[in-house]
Structures are given as C-alpha cells and as structure tokens.
Amino acid sequence: MAEFNELYARAQYYDIALGRDIRREVRFVTDLFRSLTGRPLGSVLEIACGPGYHTRAFAKAGVTATGLDLRPEMVAFAGQRAREDGVNATWIAADMRDFTLPKPVDAIITMYDALDCLADQDDVIAHFRNVAANLTPDGLYVLEFTHPHDTGFADYGSFRYEGERDGTRVIVEWATNNPSYHPLTMIADVEVVMRVIEGGKERTFVDRASERMFTTPEIAAVARLSGALRLDRAFGDFDLARPLDAGPPPRRMILALRPVGR
Ligand SMILES: C[S@@+](CC[C@H](N)C(=O)[O-])C[C@H]1O[C@@H](n2cnc3c(N)ncnc32)[C@H](O)[C@@H]1O
C-alpha cells in the first residue's frame, strides 16, 4: 500500500508544498449532487483527506463534514487548522477499506489520486462496499485522478510542488526515479523527495511507495463486481459541462459513482 511515511507524517510540510485552492472542486461536488438528486448537499465524507482542504471548505459552507485519513498526524493537523478557522468538522483516523460512520452521508469524495494506495481489485472492492454502506440511498461518490493524458504506463511523468510559509520553504519532487507502471500489476514504484529549508538548514526526506494506475473502464468493472456501486458519469475536469475527453489542459479524470439501484 502506498504510504509515503516521510511526507504524510509531516502534514505541516505537505500543506506548505501541496496546499491549493479547492473551491471549484467543492462547488463541482455540490452542484453535481444537486443536479442528480434535486436536493441540496447536506453531509459529506472526505476520504484520504490529508490536511482536510475539502472537508474544511464544505464545513465552512454549512455542510456537515467529516475528514478521514490513515495517518493520525494528518487528521490532527486538519483538526487544528479547522479549530484555528473556527470551523466545525469531524476527523477520523482510519483505513479507507474499513470504516463506519455513525450516520450515512450524502456524498463521499476521494481527491487528488488518493485511491492509488489500493494495490489490487480486492482492496478496491472492499473499499467500494464500505463506501456504499456509508452513503445515503441516493448518495454520490466522487473520485479524482490524474487525467490519462498526463500520465502513462511507460512513462509515469514527474511532478514538482513547491511552497513557502513563515520562512519555511518546502519542495516536493514526485517520481524522481522515472518510474513506469508494471504491465501486469499496474503498480509503479515511486520515489518522492521532500526538501525542507527552515531556519537556515536544509533537510531531505526520501520516500518510496507503490502507486496503482486506474482506468475508467476498470473502475466501472470493479464497481460492478462490488455489487454495491456503479459508474454514473465521467468528467474531464471539475466542470459539469466537460466530458472525459482528450481535450487540452487543465484536465483531471473525475468519476461519479452511485449506489446500485440509483
Ligand atoms: C495525495 S494525499 C491526498 C490528500 C488530500 N486528499 C489532498 O487533496 O491534498 C493521500 C492521502 O491518503 C492517505 N492514505 C493513504 N492510504 C490510506 C488508506 N488506506 N486509508 C485512508 N487514507 C489513506 C495518506 O495518509 C494521505 O494523507
């Protein structure tokens, strides 16, 4: 399972390098839910929430919001930021394949390629069943991935993220080892290097972990296999008017799943 311990255990540095404006994403989920159900979004769970960007934005907008992440450090950081902002949200440290909410929610989201930590179909099936069990009957599951045109089996590509706050500069270089996906397992062994420049000193943290590539047809097939969810729609960006196509950047692969029977 993808872990990136050095990175994900250091939530404050993740936040400096990878923090971003997610308001368009929150609007997209809110509008999609309303267009599919005819009612306003009342509650949301963000899986693999990291610093909880989406959870906090939903909570600010008056939606009952919960953030879940495997790493207690991420959940603690997210909770601290929410308290500082006077935002009321719930935080859970748990595995995305095995969690139970006290009450089903209208929407569940897994953003920023976070599903890629699930190594094989059995993990994804367990996860999909768990998601369906925690969704309202007319609920919605939204998954965000890198667009297929921005990554590939033979060439994963490389990505750089950088930020500075209060004199601390963080540079995260993703895929410094030029990985490719194994053609049988669709898993890439990815190295991530994080450099932290703080108080005149530079520290380097190196992580290596497995990442799984997913295609839209595979997600549709595994959802069917789960017997719990089905692929409803696919988008090429956080834009209800944009189908999943080979159009120009900016682009993401956004999949909307719904409980079987909806
Ligand atoms: C790329 S980060 C995404 C964070 C956040 N969603 C964002 O938009 O920035 C992936 C997150 O997935 C979490 N994670 C990894 N494996 C997980 C699992 N099995 N269950 C829940 N969270 C997991 C990591 O701790 C990390 O915070």
CATH number of domain containing 69: 3.40.50.150
- The verdict on the CB of residue 109 being under 6 Å from ligand 1 is no
H helix runs in the chain, sequence order: 5-8, 11-18, 23-37, 53-60, 72-84, 121-133, 216-226
Give me the torsion for CA of 33, 228, 110, 87, rounded to 10°: 60
Q: How many CB atoms lie within 10 A of CB 194?
A: 22
Same domain, 173 and 57: no
Instruction: Determine, yes or no, domain membership for 154.
Output: no
What average pLDDT does range 150-175 have in this prediction?
A: 94
Residue 154: pLDDT over 80: yes
Q: Is 248 helix (H, G, I), strand (E, B) or coil?
A: coil
Element counts in the chain: helices (H) and strands (E): 7, 11
Buried/exposed code over 146-162 (b: 16+ C-beta within 10 A; e: otherwise):
bbbeebeeeebeeeebe
- Centre of ligand 1 from the C-alpha of residue 13, in Å: 15
CA-wise closest residue to 176 among 143, 209, 200: 209
Query: Is the pLDDT score of 214 beyond 60?
Result: yes
76 Cα–ligand 1 center, Å: 14
- Is pLDDT of 1 > 80? no
Tell whether 237 is covered by a domain.
yes
Q: How confident is residue 4, by pLDDT bands cut at 50, 70 and 90? A: confident
Span from the CA of 49 to the centroid of ligand 1 (angstroms): 6
Query: Domain total for the chain?
Result: 2
Q: Residue 149: which of 237, 212, 23, 18 has the closest Cα?
A: 237
- What's the gap in Å between 50 CA and the centre of ligand 1? 5
The structure tokens 């995305």 sit at 96
Together in a domain, 94 and 36: yes
pLDDT for 110: 98
Give the integer Cα–Cα distance in Å for 20 and 105: 25
The position carrying tokens 């949301």 is: 44
- Bridge-based pairing of strands 43-47 and 105-110 is parallel
Whether the per-residue pLDDT at 153 is higher than 50: the answer is yes
Does 125 sit in the ligand 1 pocket, CB within 6 Å?
A: no
Spatial CB neighbours of 217, under 8 Å, sequence gap ≥ 6:
none
Clarify whether residues 125 and 170 are in a common domain. Answer: no
Give me the domain span that covers residue 35: 5-149+213-259
The predicted model gives 145-171 an average pLDDT of: 93
Q: Ligand 1 pocket test: which of 47, 71, 190 has the largest number of ligand atoms within 8 Å of its C-beta?
A: 71
Return the ligand 1 atom nearest residue 69 CA.
22
- pLDDT at res. 212: 95
Note the residue count of the chain: 262
Q: Which amino acid residue places its CA nearest to atom 1 of ligand 1?
A: 114
What's the token pair of residue 226? 């789960």
Nearest atom within ligand 1 for CA of residue 118: 19
Q: Reply yes or no on whether the pLDDT at 3 is more than 80.
A: no
CA distance 28 to 136: 19
What is the pLDDT, as a whole number, of residue 2? 52
The stretch 76-98 carries a mean pLDDT of 97
Q: Are 12 and 95 in a shared domain?
A: yes
Quick one: DSSP state of residue 98?
A: B
CA-closest residue to ligand 1 atom 4: 50
User: Which carries the bigger pLDDT value, residue 204 or residue 149?
Assistant: 204
Q: What are phi and psi of 234, to 5 degrees?
A: -135, 135
Q: What pTM was estimated for this model as a whole?
A: 0.97
Q: Does 49 sit in the ligand 1 pocket, CB within 6 Å? A: yes
Atom of ligand 1 minimally distant from the CA of 20: 9
Query: What pLDDT is attached to residue 155?
Result: 87
Q: Which tokens belong to 17?
A: 């390098």
Q: Are residues 121 and 137 in the same domain?
A: yes
CATH number, position 182: 2.20.25.110
Q: Helix or strand or coil: residue 68? A: strand
Residue 202 shares a structural domain with residue 126: no
